[in-house]
Amino acid sequence: MRAHEDAAHETALGQVIRERRINRGLSTRALAAAAGIGRRQLALIERGEGHLDYRALRALARALDMPAAVLLRDAEAQTLAHEIAQRAIVLHLLDEQHPRPWTRSELQRASPDIEPGLLAEALTQLAASGVAILDGEQIRASRSARCLDTLGMISI
Amino acid sequence: MPGQPIDPLQEEGTQRLVVLQLLRDDHDPKWTRVELEKELDDIDPDAIAIALQRLQEQGVVQADGEQLSASPCAWHLDALNFITI
C-alpha cells in the first residue's frame, strides 16, 4: 500500500470510529476510557492523524462492541466511496462537453448516486490537493489537471 | 540532437515520461535534473529541460532550487489511479 493510500485508509478508519462512537452516544472521554487509550490519542485517531496499531484498534472495537474486522471493512468501503466520488467529479470537471466552470448543484445533478455530504468532502479533498479550483460557487479543474489531461495521461 | 527544433508529439511524449518518472514509487518524491537525465538517458537533455519548463508553467512540476517534484495535483490523480502512460 502506498503512503497516500495508507493516509486515506487511516482517515476513513478514524471517521468510521467517530461515527460508531456517536451512534452509541459515547463521548471521546468515555470511549477512550473504555478502550484504555488517551483521549487525545483517540481524537487524533478519529481525525486520521494518530497512529492506530492493531492493539488500539482491537481495544476500540471491543469498546464499541463490534469486531475489528467490521471496522476495517467499513473503512475500506468508505475509502472506496470517497475515491469513486472524486473520480466522478474529476471526469466531470475535465469533460470537454462542459467547458465552463461547474456549480455544486450541476455536479450534484450529474452525480445523483453520490450523496451531497460525500460530494462536498470529495470536492474539499480535490481542492486541497490542487486538482479542483473552488471559486465561490464555481468549480473547475486546475491548470495542472488540465495539462495532464491534454497530455493524454488521464485514463478513465 | 541539441539545438534542433523538437517535434510537438515528441515534446508531449517527453513531458509524459518526465511526469511518470516523477511519480515513481521506488524513488524519493524529489528528483534532481541530473537524476532525471540519467533515468531518461535516451532523451536529449535539452528536450528534458523544455519539457520540465512546460510542466512547471502548467503547475504539473514544482521546482525548489535543484529539486524537482510532481505537483500535489499529479500525486493525487495518481492516487486515484487516473495517471497512465
> CA torsion angle for A89, A95, A101, A105 (degrees, to 10)?
-50
pLDDT digits (tens, 9 = 90+) for B20-79: 999 998 999 999 999 999 999 999 999 999 999 999 999 999 999 889 999 999 999 999
Mean pLDDT of B16-22: 96
Is A123 an interface residue toward B (CB < 8 Å)?
A: no
Between residues A42 and A6, the one the model is more confident about: A42
Set of cell numbers at residue A18: 467517530
Mean pLDDT of A57-72: 94
Q: Which of B15, B60, B84 to mutate to test the interface with A (most CBs of A within 10 A)?
A: B60
Is A63 an interface residue toward B (CB < 8 Å)?
A: no
Yes or no, beta carbons of B82 and A90 under 8 Å apart: yes
pLDDT digits (tens, 9 = 90+) for A88-130: 999 999 999 988 899 999 999 999 999 999 999 999 999 999 9
Q: Considering only alpha carbons, which residue of chain A is nearest residue B14?
A: A151
Yes or no, beta carbons of A153 and B84 under 8 Å apart: yes
> Please, which residues bridge with residue B69 across strands?
B62
| pLDDT for the residue numbered B5 | 58
> Please, which residues bridge with residue B70 across strands?
B61
Is A129 an interface residue toward B (CB < 8 Å)?
A: yes
pLDDT tier, A24 (very low <50, low <70, confident <90, very high otherwise): very high
Q: Is the ipTM of this complex over 0.85?
A: yes
| pLDDT for the residue numbered A5 | 61
| pLDDT for the residue numbered A3 | 57
Which of A45, A49, A34, A156 shows the shortest CA–CA distance to A95? Answer: A156
Distance from CA of A137 to the nearest CA of B (A): 21
Angle formed by the axes of helices A54-63 and A68-93, nearest 10°: 100
| pLDDT for the residue numbered A2 | 55
Is the pLDDT at B2 greater than 90, yes or no? no
Distance from CA of B9 to the nearest CA of A (A): 10
Note the pTM of the prediction, 2 decimals: 0.80
| Residues of B whose CB is below 8 A from A148 | 19, 60, 73-74, 77, 82-83
Is the pLDDT at A1 greater than 50, yes or no? no
